[in-house]
Amino acid sequence: MPAWLRKSFVVIISLVTFGLVSPAQVNGFLTPTAERTDKSTAAETVFIDSFDDKLDEETEKNQFIDRTVREAELQSFEKFGGKIGPAIENEFRQTILPNIEKAIEMVAEQYPGEKLSTLRITEMPGGGESEKIFHIIGDDNKDIIRFHVRRDQPPKDGHWFNFHYHTYHDGFQSHYELGRIYWAKDTPPKWKS
């Protein structure tokens, strides 16, 4: 059907139906079925492909977060050792670990899904008086975020464990607090003991 004739039918049908049938509906009805199928299939394919990409990206982020939180928990309890770990285990899992997870989610939002698989967690927490629990490092072996725990002893207030992290954004200068756990009046044992 010639284009001028198709356009004429569209206008006439729209006028006769007082606008109840839109020109797009009429034009779609007058377009040959094979042509409509090709256009809709191409559009559906593009939509489905972009939807799949978003699902893959989201899946990669969730897998990174789950894996890193599990490793963070293992590294933390390795640092706490047999003396500190059992005493603070419940409070750590309820208060500190969810905040560590939020910080890890923040890291995951900064990287595309395929880049997340190159990030990894350091394997050796610091012992003795060291603050280091674990760091997340990039494929260039540079730290992205550092998770630490500091021993605080405010005057006449006993001993506290101050969990915090630092990021590369400010050269690891700022402390971002994750929470505090009270130990006792007496000095806590060294890490990993």
89-127 residue pLDDT tens? 999 999 999 999 999 999 999 988 778 889 999 888 998
Q: Looking at the predicted structure, is the pLDDT value of residue 42 above 80?
A: no
**Token pair recorded at residue 130:** 């060291």
Residue 152: pLDDT band (50, 70, 90) is very high
Spatial distance between the Cα atoms of 160 and 154, rounded to a whole number of angstroms: 8
Any domain includes 1: no
Q: For residue 92, what are the domain limits?
A: 55-184
User: How many CB atoms are located within 10 Å of the residue 105 CB?
Assistant: 15
**Domains contained in the chain, number:** 1
**From the CB of residue 2, how many other CB atoms can be counted at a distance below 10 Å?**
7
In a domain, 8, yes or no: no
Q: Which two tokens stand for residue 170?
A: 């400010």
pTM: 0.71
The answer to whether residue 88 sits within a structural domain is yes
Can you tell me the distance from the alpha carbon of 29 to that of 10, in angstroms, rounded to the nearest whole number?
10
How far is it, in rounded angstroms, from Cα 168 to Cα 84? 29
Asked whether residue 48 is domain-assigned, the answer is no
Tell me if 25 is assigned to some domain: no
- 23 has pLDDT over 60: no
Residue 84 lies in a domain: yes
